[in-house]
Structure 1
Amino acid sequence: MGTLKQWVTLVALFWFLMNLTEASPTYTATYCSNNTTYTPNSTFETNLNILFYYFSTNISNPYFVTIVGFGTTNAVNGLFLCRGDVSATVCEQCVTAAAKEIRRRCPNQTEAVIWYDECTLRYTNRYFAINSVVPRLNFNDGGNISGVELGLFNESVFGLLTGLATEAENSGSVKFAVGEVKVTRSVTVYALEQCTRDLPEGGCETCLRGAIATLPSCCTAKQGARALLASCNLRYEIFPFYTLPPSSSSGGKKLGSGTVVVVVVVPVVFLIALIVGCRCFRRRSMKRRRNDNMNPKISDFGLARMIDINQNKGNTNRVVGTYGYMSPEYAMHGQYSEKSDVFSFGVIVLEIISAKRNSRALVTPDFDDLLTYAWRNWKDEKPLEILDPDLKESFSHSEVINCIHIGLLCVQQNPDDRPTMERVVSYLSNISVELPLPREPALFVGIGNDPKKILKGESSDQQTKSNSIQSSINDMTISNYFPR
């Protein structure tokens, strides 16, 4: 009997806690202007009471905006917005709680904003400019990120946030987007962005980009952070905190069905090369992999050698391998490191794009190797000139240019300038990440440049000229670039 009673008690307690969680939206922050106050029993207070009455009668909607006393000096502009992934019940509970709490926390204020995890509510006696970052609140969760390169983490976070700003702008009336990016095998960043629906075209992205710009001052290298503005808000964490909207294949229209951005990182280096080929050039014929003598167009690196465990760099007196893929520091000085493999990977990327071997890209006096050819066309703002002619009718401008950009970053002269493979993975997986400008590629070691002759100072004129990158290429926007 006692056991049955205990079970009944546990079930009742569980049910109570479930309902308590449903009925208790999570308070985040409040903004009170403290600039002007209204007089009790004034016309402004009457209009404010009417506004909150309208809130209560429209609480079944995920979004509501109105003006009471329009055209007068006592006008009150107000709205509430529920998060795009919460249920109608949670939305009602959040708005009800916010309407009570905002008046308690900001008594007699003519302007106030309150944020909950599940909703936002505001009222004001003026209008908020969409590009204004005031009122604004920023805060982080206090924890510093660990176990991942700081630069890579920040690039991944801000790349994801920037991409979601565009997704939210293009998500229709909901102005809502969530997404994630896998930075490393153990670290995934989740983010959510949303705007109020009264913003004009382009206003949502403008507001969110302004919110993103406020994060470096408070939240760099933090595990989680938020930027709360009057017309938009964003949040990122290293744990899931939102519910994915239902897919379009599900039957009815759901509350807050927004746009989802999911960025997946593939951690295997050679699989990346396959992805580059499949992504940019799906229709390539396998016949083009060999020449008329059935010799392969793309050779192996030929750099296999025994090294000590945990060794990531070294020197050798015996240079072996395929010169077309060798980094200059290895071919000329016997110095090898992980950046040597990055160089080889960059050559592979450019070979896949152009369908040409590095040892004989073009037989002309001006363009005698693939790296020089790719670099000169990049500087001349004609990167698509190196693209395999067979693919001219079936490719994405932005994807191809992005792949060329990554390839040039990998074959830079200075090994320290080349990205790590971890960073390359991030570049390939998240097109929103802003790529650094490539510098001049390394000296090509091929048919015309015997490494032994180079060491003796007898190299040919294969080395590319050290011209600076034109300023116009510095401002090139990949998503909007088209070849001439």
Structure 2
Amino acid sequence: MATYSLLISLVIYVMAFSINLSHADPRADLVKQTCGKVRVQNVSNYFKYYSSITDYMQDEIYRNKFAFKDTGEPPDRLYVLAQCMDDLTNDECALCFAQISTLIPSCFPSTGGRVYFDGCFIRAENYSFYREALAPEDTKRCSGILNKGQEFSVAVKELLSKMLLKAPSFRGFASKHETSNGISAYGMANCWKILDRDLCSICLSEAVASALSCIPSTEARVLNAGCFLRYSDASFANDSNGEHSKEEVFSYITYIMGVVLICVIAIGIGVCVGKLTYRRKIRLKQSKETEDLLLEERVQYMQFKYATLDTATESFSETNRGYMAPEYIAKGRLTEKVDVYSFGVLVIEMITGVQNNKYQSDKTYETLVTCAWKHFQSNTVQEIIDTSMTIDQDAEEIERVVQIGLLCTQESPNLRPTTTEVVQMLRKKDVELSSPSKPPFTDELMELHYLGSLDQQHPSTFGL
């Protein structure tokens, strides 16, 4: 929240700063207008060309505070350039251009001319003048009000020297003020943006020399082909009270905004990654809990109490009895969900008779199956039959039932028969049985421990 508050505060600050930089004065005071001495051949075409060019330049001048364009056929081809001083806002520049652009047509049928306002400049010719830094028509205007004090002269000279150094290196613009013993001088220098650094420096060097010749005038303007320079004893530029132009300030603010935005994005990414990681941990935890629950349910399904069997077989009714005790399961109706593996374990339990509260545990089932496997392998299945059970069937049928139970408890679920196949195996003796593979848990130590303890407690259970 603190980051977002900072961002909002910065945006508000930028808005407030923008308002402070906005002024209603486009400085559209006419400084000088000059017209060419050569006449065009087709005046009507010249007017059309000019109208077309200025229509195009309106949008460009608003966006960039600078525009140039040419159109038509020589010798009446028309070239036009217009630019605002850099300290004007886009809105102020648009207002200044709207007024200054109406003055050039007053020069027609001349081939063109120049118009200087304090806030903007426009020039039209029938030749490409875009790279001209100086021209014979360059001039200056010195104020009739004088300040002969040494302090003012020192301030102006220092001011002009610094603007000459700064402007060519800073997009052709400089706005400064200097003070000498409490006496201030304000200045602004602006090259047309079509000039490179060297041409701008040439233009402003001549402009500074012309301005120095105006001292001790309290104000002077130099109107060259490629630049405009002004000094005064009063502030006139929008940012003349500071050392940074509006572009510098906004560049700095844009940089700060970019840094803040990057920080916000980074924090957002961190929060998202954190949430995804947390959710993944929760899902893994839930998945583990689900697996544990399913395992617990599986174990529960493997544990059948006597009451459950009694209910499923209707108290071991003769109508539900088949050839052997395990067929009670096939014919009866269990109310619990029973898978094939559980059925196989249940067969072993019913034959051995060890299903009771004392031995209800996973290890008991594992040991029992490991024991229906050892005896099956050694052809001693009869030794695991509960002595309390009255079985008059032959040993071959007993071994068949044990073999079915072992098939149901094989390690790979794909090897286990389906419930339907189990029922057919029990009912149809002619169905050939495959040889069961080793159960999933054959722990020799567990088997020995279990057989030893079982022999001590129930010596008649396994006949050992």
TM-score (norm 2): 0.44
Greater share of residues in helix: 2
Using the size of structure 1 for normalisation, the TM-score is 0.43
Greater length-normalized contact order (CA 8 Å, ≥ 6 residues apart): 1
Larger gyration radius, structure 1 or structure 2: 2
